């Protein structure tokens, strides 16, 4: 069977509608809101601040820590169990790894930069939305960075490669599905995250990476425009 048409009418290489804002949480050192389709992510950055306990301090480098949380009633699918869980810890870990290539932790010795990501509403693509929000929040906090990170999920639904799967595509039952979250460093096009759930040929994986780079380039512009808009309003 062939997947001939997306349920929401998008082209196969098209993301859902995206909205981004910076500086949305007043008490945070930096913050951002990122919405893609019905998936909403907030990120708040606190630091650099002294890390405790002190044996974790490093006089040469600081530490980046990420925390990821989907709220209990956020999911279109099954209800999310409240509190820490293995999936949330795994996504927090890969988020850290996706962001570390652009964060200059050497500028914050003996310190920690904490990034808290909350998702009050989800419809697939949660880790990618969280990474996009976190990258913006770090920039908003004035953290020393050598670029931005954008992320998007590429998938294969039956016989078609598609950009930015929604929940109906993730749970597609009339054929096979593969889901590939990919994060890209805007300045260098370095891949800082690549995971895969499902099976994909080598050729399709290459095509998926190219599709992700094009989509992430568009997302990067939205992220930067949101940051510029905040400071234009502030200085205007």
What are the residue boundaries of the structural domains of the chain, listed by start?
18-235
N-to-C CA span, the chain: 56
pLDDT of res. 234: 59
Question: For the chain, what percent of residues have pLDDT higher than 90?
Answer: 77
pLDDT of res. 7: 86
Report helix, strand or coil for 195. coil
pLDDT, mean over the chain: 92
Helix 126-140 vs helix 86-99: crossing angle, to nearest 10 = 50
pLDDT of res. 236: 55
Q: What are phi and psi of 108, to 5 degrees?
A: -130, 60
Q: How far apart are CA 150 and CA 200, in angstroms?
A: 22
pLDDT of res. 152: 98
Mean pLDDT to the nearest integer, 100-126: 95
30: Cβ contacts below 8 Å, ≥ 6 apart: 22, 23, 44, 45, 137, 138, 139, 140, 141, 142, 143
Q: Which residues pair with 17 in a beta bridge?
A: none
Q: How far apart are CA 27 and CA 44, in angstroms?
A: 9
Q: How far apart are CA 231 and CA 221, in angstroms?
A: 16
Mean pLDDT to the nearest integer, 100-108: 95
Fold annotation for 18-235? Ribosomal Protein S5; domain 2 (3.30.230)
pLDDT of res. 210: 97
pLDDT tens, position by position, 156-209: 999 899 999 999 998 888 888 999 999 999 989 999 999 999 989 999 999 999
Q: What are phi and psi of 4, to 5 degrees?
A: -95, -20
188 neighbors 167 (Cβ within 8 angstroms) = no
């Amino acid at each position: 069977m062939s997947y001939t048409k997306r349920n929401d009418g998008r082209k196969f290489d098209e993301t859902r509608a995206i909205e981004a804002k910076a500086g949305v949480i007043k008490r945070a050192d930096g913050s951002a809101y990122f919405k893609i389709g019905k998936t909403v992510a907030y990120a708040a950055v606190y630091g650099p601040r002294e890390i405790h306990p002190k044996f974790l301090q490093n006089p040469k480098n600081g530490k980046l820590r990420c925390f990821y949380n989907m709220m209990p009633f956020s999911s279109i699918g099954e209800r999310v169990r409240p509190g820490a869980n293995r999936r949330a810890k795994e996504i927090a870990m890969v988020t850290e790894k996706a962001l570390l290539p652009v964060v200059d932790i050497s500028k914050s010795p003996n310190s920690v930069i904490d990034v808290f990501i909350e998702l009050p509403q989800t419809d697939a693509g949660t880790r990618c939305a969280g990474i996009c929000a976190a990258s913006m929040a770090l920039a908003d906090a004035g953290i020393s960075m050598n670029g931005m990170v954008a992320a998007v999920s590429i998938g294969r639904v039956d016989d078609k490669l598609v950009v930015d799967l929604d929940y109906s595509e993730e749970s597609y039952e009339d054929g096979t599905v593969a889901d590939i979250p990919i994060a890209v460093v805007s300045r260098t096009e370095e891949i800082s995250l690549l995971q895969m759930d499902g099976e994909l040929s080598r050729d399709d994986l290459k095509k998926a990476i190219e599709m992700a780079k094009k989509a992430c380039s568009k997302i990067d512009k939205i992220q930067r425009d949101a940051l510029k808009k905040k400071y234009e309003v502030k200085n205007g």
